[in-house]
Chain A
Amino acid sequence: MIRLEQITKCYGDTMAVNELSIEINEGEVCVLIGPSGCGKTTTLRMVNRLIEPTTGRIFVNEQEINTIRPEQLRRSIGYAIQSVGLFPHMTVASNIATVPTLLHWEKSHIVRRVEELLTLVGLNAAEYASKYPSQLSGGEAQRIGVARALAADPPILLMDEPFGAVDPLTRERLQAQFVRIQQELRKTIILVTHDLDEAIRLADQIAIMESGKLVQYDTPETILTKPANKFVHDFVGTDRALKRLSRIGIENFIKPATSISVIASKKEVNSICKRCRWVWVVDEDYRLIGWVDRASLSETSSVKEMVVRGDSNEIAVTNSATLRETLSRMLGQGLKSIPVVDEMGRLVGEVALGDIEAATAEAEV
């Protein structure tokens, strides 16, 4: 879908990009990564002609891009950047509608599309459409930026550190959302980052660059297991086994969890679980609210009195979490198993430490 052939970009005497060739298949996420100044952003910006290469050719859909008018090319390629660059004098809706407006879409069509996109990035359309960028949090602005890039449904998306300027927790969520959206939309995406964990989590292919040159272009698994040279080896770091866990979702590791309603009595607890020391407690909507220690229950006291309450964001992981995140939470809290909840906070099961160990052992082979 996108092919770069022998691309070189010089600024005076310095070579920002040096004879780089790379091919990105349709529907794949290619992450460009490397230390700052390695030429990854320059490479990205050459794909939509914001920068023209000194020598070399770039093809999109087998068409050489310097035969296409820059404005026309760019309107067919989504573009999202770290600093987002939302237009401060326009509402969220008008921001998202930028490219459709440039393409003279019908008004009603644009309105529907904006609603669709806001929903896609997980924001309430009615609430956010009329807001101004100054009223948004960092994470919300980033999501609007992504929605704006997707507005005209371009087959290709260029993203320059799209989750860079937010706090780690928000970044985690945005990444999970990215994975979900990409599963649905299957865009061809070039994403620039300097965060290896992000690359490993999101990429189908990772291109590692060093001072303008492509050092290794491979799947995350191969990069982690067979680094091409010392630079990649050092760049990937010593916690490769752990990093690989962030490629694996927890869906296949969720086992049914024993839980009890908050209004249950001790007798019911005993009947559900004779041997376990504690059980998860859920409310009437099956939302996780904490756990109860069986020993603490006397004949007279109810679960409601003895439940140890906890925020499900703290004590549980969501079903979109990776094994790495899950493992880190378990180790942090000294748990042998951790409950899993869905987006509504409802208990869907639990993941046990032993199973994760088994998975790492398997991957190590």
Chain B
Amino acid sequence: MIHRLVTRDSVAVTGSVIGLFSLLFGWLTLKPSRITAGTSLSLWESVDWTGSAVILVLWLVCFILSFMGKGILKAAILGTAANLILIISFVLTGPAASRILEGEPPIARVSLGVGVWMTFAAAYILVFAARQRLDNSPVLRNLVSWTGLAVLLSLLIAGWFNDLSIVREFIGREERFVQELLHHVFLVGVSVAVGTLLGIFLGIWATRSRRAERPIFFITNITQTIPSLALFGLLIAPLSALSFAFPVLREAGIRGVGNTPAIIALVIYSLLPIVRNTYVGLRQLDPAVIDAGLGMGMSRSQIFRRIEAPLAAPLVLEGVRTASVQSVGLAAVAALIGAGGLGWFIFQGLGQAAADLILLGAIPIIVLALTVDAVMRTIVKFATPKGLAGGNQ
């Protein structure tokens, strides 16, 4: 028997299977109040039968398509189907929540069920699979990647989901949300900025001095292994002592709790990727390039400014990217020592056992991390010297 060419796209298959399975799980959950457990409603109980059938058919189309070769047309159809699933789910879910709440007491809530999150994840696995094959047509690729999200955002702003519990949690706390979001960005921004300056300095020092190299890496490696919760906690005692001993510090706002220990901890965590990348960025340079520069009469500082710095910059910024994304997540813990930030909602939610309040903190943190990642990637791309981008200018 002749073996058939394997035309299966295993990423797309995974996505489709998860998508089909998502139909077996609860779509929406009706809770008597925001902190009680509720009854789970399936997709067809939440939205109507037609909508469910359309989504099922679309998942089946995706499933079949993932076995049918990897052409551009098929990728486009696959991506479109995934986006359609998202859009239909979004459009139907908002009104579904409102309908379920009809006749319930005002404190009743409707939360998103496991099925919704699975659908979301599965659809983006498919988008990812389609994207990879659409490298040659940027327009299609961007359409496939962003349409679903754009629709979600527009519906959200239009108040389409106002009856969902997570949005209700938000509506009561708009002001607080904006404040904590900005504070989160502030914590991350300050600590990454300080970490970058300090990290680059330590990285350069490590390449210049054999004696400094080992202790620098020893310390940055060790601190990375301290659990974040512990590090935040550990900083409280010494900082309180300092602030009591020197009133000047207290007046400057440096205390055992609040921003100071949070920023110090975040700086410490951001050091390792930046120090390491600076070190590697400088060490990987072709020694002949430095030798040629010296031999032609460049001074040490000219070598650094004109050769080492521009050539190491992409890698250093790559380290800053890692540090920033990591800090966005770690800053959530800072709320525990009174530094605020989006983590505040998470800990409030944990305290009240209100799952949707936790999500109100967690989801923006994920979105923020992805945004920071995308922005930093763009910066790295622009900082890469033309001659290094490989091939033609």
Contact = CB atoms under 8 A, between A and B. Distances in A.
Nearest to B300: A71
A142 to B, nearest CB: 12
A132 B387 contact: yes
B310 interface: yes
B393 to A, nearest CB: 6
A133 B387 contact: yes
A100 B298 CA distance: 11
Given A85-B286, A135-B392, A50 B387 contact: no
B296 A79 contact: yes
A184 B292 CA distance: 25
B303 to A, nearest CB: 10
A134 interface: yes
Contacts of A148: 292, 296
Contacts, number: 82
Interface in A144-160: 145, 148-149, 158
A85 B386 contact: no
Contacts of B298: 71, 98, 102
Interface on chain B toward A: helix, strand, loop, or mixed SS? helix
Residue in A50, A99, A134 whose Cβ sees the most chain B Cβ within 10 Å? A134
Contacts of A98: 293, 296, 298
A176 interface: no
A89 B385 contact: yes
A101 to B, nearest CB: 9
A72 interface: yes
B227 interface: no
B294 interface: yes
B297 A73 contact: yes
A74 interface: yes
B159 interface: no
A48 B295 contact: yes
A84 interface: yes
Given A132-B393, A134-B391, A85 B297 contact: no
Q: Across chains A and B, which 6 residue pairs bring their CB atoms closest together, nearest first?
A: A85-B292, A89-B385, A132-B387, A75-B297, A74-B297, A79-B295
15 contacts: A50-B295, A70-B297, A71-B298, A73-B297, A74-B296, A76-B297, A81-B292, A81-B295, A86-B289, A87-B307, A88-B286, A88-B289, A98-B296, A149-B296, A158-B295
Interface of A: 48, 50, 70-76, 79, 81, 83-91, 98-99, 102, 130, 132-135, 145, 148-149, 158
Given A50-B294, A88-B311, 17 more contacts: A71-B297, A71-B298, A74-B297, A75-B297, A81-B291, A85-B289, A87-B306, A87-B307, A88-B387, A90-B387, A98-B293, A102-B296, A102-B298, A102-B302, A132-B386, A134-B388, A149-B296
